[in-house]
Amino acid sequence: MLERIFIFLFLPSVLAAQLCKPDAPEGFKVRLSIKTALQDEAYEWDGNERFLFQATLAFAMSRHTRQEFNVSNILVCDETPRVSFWFVVTSPDDPSQLINRGKVEAAVRMSRNRINSAFLLSDETLEFVGILPTLAAPVEPASPPWLIVFGVVMGLVGAGIVFLLVSTVLQKRRKKNQEGDEGDDDEEARVKTAENGCRSDGIYNTSFSEDEPNTQM
């Protein structure tokens, strides 16, 4: 009678020791980098944290498979000071049966966010070795911003060119009208001076000094 009680008491832990070991075929290695993620607010890894891990994994498995998983179905072993350990998941119907690795991976993938936030960690700091996180898509704005800036710049430049050309044309027209009036005045003055008989020396005409006096090829 006593032996049976002993066997019943120790069987689960013996079974657990056999089911969960490093490099177990249906097991996963988990690595937490609490100090890297939280620095001053880092918590110590103890039995309570381990319990939380088992609870969240049970939650993830229940969510994915629609079966009821219990904390005792998640077996954790080989804890190291790094804070890394191995875990395996046993079936709720039969504690000696392990859940398929693929199913566990799918469950973890589905609830990754919830597991991360339970521990205040992220995909990089709470690693499931072998389960690659789905990468966030690169941020892409709806319309490429460079086209908008380009449009603004070209608009300003185009407006500037039009403004400069129009102002030059207007200036030239104004000059022509002015010269027309001045030309009449000049002619009258010259007629007067010619009549008066005195002549000024004339203005040095530089239009010839600008030209090339030599032949060009």
Partner 1 sequence: MRLVIPNPGLDQRIPSHQDLERMEKEQVSDRPKWDNKAQYILTCVGFCIGIGNVWRFPYLCQTHGGGAFLIPYLILLVLEGMPLLLMEFAIGQRLRKGSVGVWRAINPYLTGVGIASMLVSLIIGLYYNTLIAWIMWYLFNSFQDPLPWTQCPLNGNRTGFVDECQRSSTVDYFFYRVTLDTSTSIDNSSGIHWPMVVCLLAAWTFICICYIQGISTSGKAVYITAILPYIVLAIFLVRGLTLKGALSGIQYLFIPDVNELMNPTTWLDAGAQVFYAFSVAWGGLISFSSYNPIHNNCMQDAVMLTAITGLTSIYAATVTYSIIGFRATEKYDTCVSENIRTLLNSFNLPESSINTTNYDAAFNHLNSSHPDVILGLDLQTCDMQKFLSEGVEGTGLAFIVFTEAITKMPASPIWSVLFFIMLLCLGVSTLFGNIEGVVIPLKDLNVLPRSWPHEALTGATCVIAFIMCLLFAQTSGLYWVTLFDNFAGSVPLLTIGLFELIAVVYIYGIDRFNEDIKFMIGHKPSIFWQVSWRFISPLIILVILVFYLVTLAQKELTYLVWDPNSDVFPVQASVPYPPWISAVIFLLAGVPSLAMPVYALCRLVFVGCKQKRNPSKKSGQN
Residues that bind partner 1 (CB under 8 A): 31, 33-36, 80-84, 132, 134-135, 137-139, 141, 145-150, 153-154, 157-158, 160-161, 164-165, 168, 203-204, 206, 209-210, 212-217
Residue with tokens 């941020």: 139
Hey, CA dihedral for 203, 209, 213, 216, is it positive or negative? Answer: negative
Give whichever of 181 and 212 is closer to partner 1, judged by the CB atom.
212
Give whichever of 141 and 197 is closer to partner 1, judged by the CB atom.
141
Phi-psi region of 27 (alpha: psi -120 to 50; beta: other; left: phi over 0): beta
Give whichever of 173 and 194 is closer to partner 1, judged by the CB atom.
173
Least distance to partner 1, CB of residue 179, Å: 14
Least distance to partner 1, CB of residue 1, Å: 43
Query: Edge-to-edge, what's the strand order for the sheet holding 84-89?
Result: 74-80, 84-89, 28-32, 126-129
Residue with tokens 């000071």: 81
Give whichever of 8 and 208 is closer to partner 1, judged by the CB atom.
208
Give whichever of 26 and 78 is closer to partner 1, judged by the CB atom.
78
**Do 115 and 57 contact (CB within 8 A), yes or no?**
yes
Least distance to partner 1, CB of residue 146, Å: 4
CA 207 to chain centre: 65
The H-or-E segment that residue 31 falls in is strand 28-32
Least distance to partner 1, CB of residue 200, Å: 14
Least distance to partner 1, CB of residue 214, Å: 6
In whole angstroms, give the CA distance from residue 73 to residue 42: 28
**Do 31 and 82 contact (CB within 8 A), yes or no?**
yes
